[in-house]
Amino acid sequence: MARPAEHRRAVDAGNIAGCRGKFLAPPLTQVARSVGTMIMGQDLDKIERTSDALAEEYAETFSGEHHKKPKDQEILRRFSIEIGDKKPVWDFGCGSGQTSKYLKDLGTDISGLDLSEKLLEQARTLHPEITFRKGNMLQLEFDDDSIAGVVAFYAIVHFTEEQVEIAFREALRVLQPGGLFLFTYHIGVDTIHIEEFLGKKTDIEFMFFSTAFISSCLKKIGFQEIEIVERDPYPGVEYESRRAYVFAKKPGCHNAPIG
């Protein structure tokens, strides 16, 4: 269920700039304009325009961010070890490619997907050894059972709960049996309205989610082996919200009955 408007609050660019910025990943929730109004959907064209406008500043600000966050490093190393030499692996909502680059350096054969062509231009310039392509997490252009692993760092921060479910269903659909899904989110119930980011005017809704909702949604869709790791924020490095990393797997193939 989408959140009521009374949970919305505004923050300034100085506070939100340390938030890891994946609210530039697709897509953008339309702003609830009055008390009692429900946030019903998102405007993909609007988030794409916003992302395009901020692409250069975003890339400069968030390049190499994982090196400042020890838990990110631990989680990404674990993902890389569990994936091993399986492929393909995709970074959904890749932005300017910082997570793709970190995993590539760990030996993961990874590609990146984002809605914003301008962000993808930054990613290709910064990381020419990695393949990046345009795409939408809510309507993936991949075949069923075609991807070994998906990572999506803060890629759901603009989604309503209904849209989170759609994104999870799409991830489950494209993963191979036994495929690994790693994603992150901000823990809470707020929706933050951002009017300025990286020195430019914006109109962005930033969504928080409860761990109970995330867990129940994944189970409802059919993911297994769900593990949620929570942490406190790194002061002075990022927006001061609690974070969660989630590992989940698509069910593997069942052996055919004998006889």
Token pair belonging to 201: 């005017």
Q: Cis link prior to 257 (omega < 30° from 0)?
A: no
Q: Name the residue among 217, 160, 216, 222 with its Cα closest to residue 189.
A: 160
Q: What is residue 245's predicted lDDT score, i.e. its pLDDT? A: 98
**Residue 8 banded pLDDT, cuts 50, 70, 90:** very low
Q: In what order do the strands lie in the sheet with 175-186?
A: 131-134, 110-114, 89-92, 147-152, 175-186, 243-249, 224-231
Helices in the chain by DSSP H: which ranges?
13-16, 44-62, 70-83, 98-105, 117-126, 161-174, 211-221
Q: How far apart are CA 13 and CA 206, in angstroms?
A: 13
pTM for the whole structure: 0.82
Q: CATH fold of 5-249, please? A: Rossmann fold (3.40.50)
The per-residue pLDDT for range 42-96, each reduced to its tens digit, is 677 777 877 777 777 777 777 888 999 999 999 999 999 999 999 999 999 999 9
